[in-house]
Each structure stands twice: as C-alpha cells, then as structure tokens.
Amino acid sequence: LILFQKGQTTTPPPFEIFFCFGEEWPDQKPKEKKLITVQVVPVVARMLLEMFSGELSWSADSIPLHISHPDLKDKMVEQFKELHQLWHNQQNPQPGPAPWA
C-alpha cells in the first residue's frame, strides 16, 4: 500500500481474502467453479486503498464498521478519524506560524 501511495507501483495491493470450504484449494479449478467460496473484503483495507488512490468516497464521521465488540469499534473509528486527519493534513498542508513568532 505504501509503495502504491508513493507511486512506486502501478497496481494496487489486493485486499480481498478468499476461503474455500469442502474442497482442496488451490488446485487446477478456478475459484468460480468451487462449491463453496467466501470472499471477505476487510473494510479497513478497502478504505485505506480508496484514501491513498484518491477515490475517497466516505466521511470520517460516517464509517460503516460492523465489529461485534463495541469497545473495539469505538477505538477503530477513532483511529480512522485520526488517520483521515493525518492524510488530509498531508494532502493540504497548512502554513505554520513563522519560526521567529
């Protein structure tokens, strides 16, 4: 993700996780031909990729996280808000006070 954000690679990192149940995998069959597959898309990874690729389509105040433990959710939302603020400050640096002031 860092290399992608710095422009050192043109392809974004994959963040989907695939699980296959009841069959050997990986094998010669494509995952679309498996009986039971599950695709997990971590919200954190998708948001970070969108943020660094300029496709940011969410507000830091409305992050749709679905985490079962409320304390963990609260902490994650706060971390996302801090990360969003850091990213925003990096993209739009504000001139600071003069060093002699």
Is 30 inside any structural domain?
Answer: yes
Q: Report the chain's terminal Cα–Cα distance, integer Å.
A: 39
Residue 37 main-chain phi, psi, to 5 deg: -130, 150
Confidence (pLDDT) at 16: 87
If one counts the domains in the chain, the total is: 1
pLDDT mean over 22-34: 87
Is 16 inside any structural domain?
Answer: yes
What percent of the chain has pLDDT above 90?
3
Confidence (pLDDT) at 34: 87
Is 4 inside any structural domain?
Answer: yes
Is 73 inside any structural domain?
Answer: no
pLDDT digits (tens, 9 = 90+) for 57-87: 555 555 554 544 556 666 777 787 888 888 8
Confidence (pLDDT) at 73: 60
pTM: 0.44
3 state DSSP class of 1: coil
